[in-house]
Structure 1
Amino acid sequence: MACRRGALVVLEGVDRTGKTTQSRRLGEALRESGHLAELLRFPDRTTEIGRLISSYLENKSNLEDHTVHLLFSANRWEQV
């Protein structure tokens, strides 16, 4: 039997617009309907790399643009 591919749903938007709330609600609705659902958030501010990104986003540190880009990429790879 061939494996069925899942769906990837991405919610994007500016800060404080309700992305987390809507993501949780969608995940709950999917699970209640019998689907498997997993919520991933980026940046994941619980890791050391995530804390560096958080510091940058809060204007507490000054990092070069390419460095920040690489940190975001590394933060995603931490989830793999």
Structure 2
Amino acid sequence: MAGRRGALIVLEGMDRAGKTTQGRKLVAALLQSGHPAELLRFPERSTEIGKLLGSYLEKKKNMEDHTVHLLFSANRWEQV
């Protein structure tokens, strides 16, 4: 076998439901058991694109739906 495939685990839920907390616990458990793991959060609000998305999500900025879709896509690509 040339290499092992990884897994993508997605946690979804409403705001303040504990997704980040559970994600951190899951990453810690995976790392402790010897599995490589990384926590990614979307949108990543530290970039310029992420800041635009943050403003939109906080209802401080209005944007066309297509624009928002493209910004979310670009923000995901910033993390890979």
TM-score (norm 1): 0.97
SS of equivalent to 1:41: coil
Q: Match for residue 33 of structure 1? A: 33
Q: Trace 1:1-80 onto structure 2 (pairs within 5 A).
A: 1-80=1-80
**Structure 1 runs, 4 residues or longer, greater than 2 Å off:** none
Aligned residues: 80
Unaligned runs of 5+ in 2: none
Amino acid corresponding to residue 19 of structure 1 in structure 2: K
1:9 deviates by: 0.2
1:44 deviates by: 0.1
Q: Kindly provide the CA deviation profile for residues 30-76 of structure 1, in whole angstroms up to 9, marking residues without a partner as x.
A: 00001100111100000000000000000000001111011000000
Distance 2:67 2:13 in 1: 22
User: Taking every aligned residue pair, what percent have the same amino acid on both sides?
Assistant: 76
TM-score (norm 2): 0.97
Q: For the aligned residues, what is the CA RMSD?
A: 0.7
Amino acid corresponding to residue 4 of structure 2 in structure 1: R
Unaligned runs of 5+ in 1: none
1:14 deviates by: 1.2
Distance 1:60 1:35 in 2: 40
